[in-house]
Amino acid sequence: MKYCMAANWKMNKTVPETVEFIKAFLPMVKDITDVEIVISPPFTSLYAASESLKGSDVKLSAQDVFWEEKGAFTGEVSPGMLLDAGCRYVIIGHSERRQYFHDDDTVVNKKIKAAHKAGLGVIFCCGESLEERESGRTFDVIGREIQTGLEGVSAEDLIIAYEPIWAIGTGKTATKEQAQEVHAFIRKTLKTAYGSAADAIRILYGGSVTPENVDGLMACQDVNGALVGGASLKPESFYKIVSFKKES
């Protein structure tokens, strides 16, 4: 299984900053062939990023999508528009979308189906809050998000990203043991839903991933890559994450 390292820039970087990053980053990773690298700029930088990535193996992803193909939906972006801009993937269900924009499990499911129908790969996010973890509801929350979010969704072209909400942008990171425990639960849940097809679904860890902790996280049996936030905003930092070395 090829590892996947995805950069989620969130609401950061102008078009010139995006082009500058890619210009610096591509020479660093030109010899990396055993990791799928994905960059997710804001909507305004997608086309410029696509043009800058031409000729490389680095994939482009959007950070969100709407579920309709076109129509009177002011401010929204359709799956077809993302494909037209050069996207290969789209992130759906990120905790910030759920928290600030009220994307519940049903909305997430509609977006995933629309993305798949258009031919986009999906990076589907799930994760629990600190209160949910401390009250022992981690598996209940993640199980619900997967069951409802992926209802009627094919296992093909699907990546899961486990992002404990309490570790996103806080500097806190799940321990290797915590990450592996939840990733193993996700793998088991996917196998119940998809059978042997679940073995090919990559499960990424996201939540304050840095060059300093990535090696240990990638050593976990069921961790197949990372969804990286702040540490992906500088080419050198993201390169160090992409070029991780597994701890023995």
Catalytic residues: 94, 163
3-state secondary structure labels for all residues of the chain:
CCEEEEEECCCCCCHHHHHHHHHHHHHHHCCCCCEEEEEECCHHHHHHHHHHHCCCCCEEEECCCCCCCCCCCCCCCCHHHHHHCCCCEEEECCHHHHHHHCCCHHHHHHHHHHHHHHCCEEEEEECCCHHHHHCCCHHHHHHHHHHHHCCCCCCCCEEEEECCHHHCCCCCCCCHHHHHHHHHHHHHHHHHHHHHHHHHCEEEECCCCCCCCHHHHHCCCCCCEEEECHHHCCHHHHHHHHCCCCCC
**Tokens 């890559």 -> residue:** 225
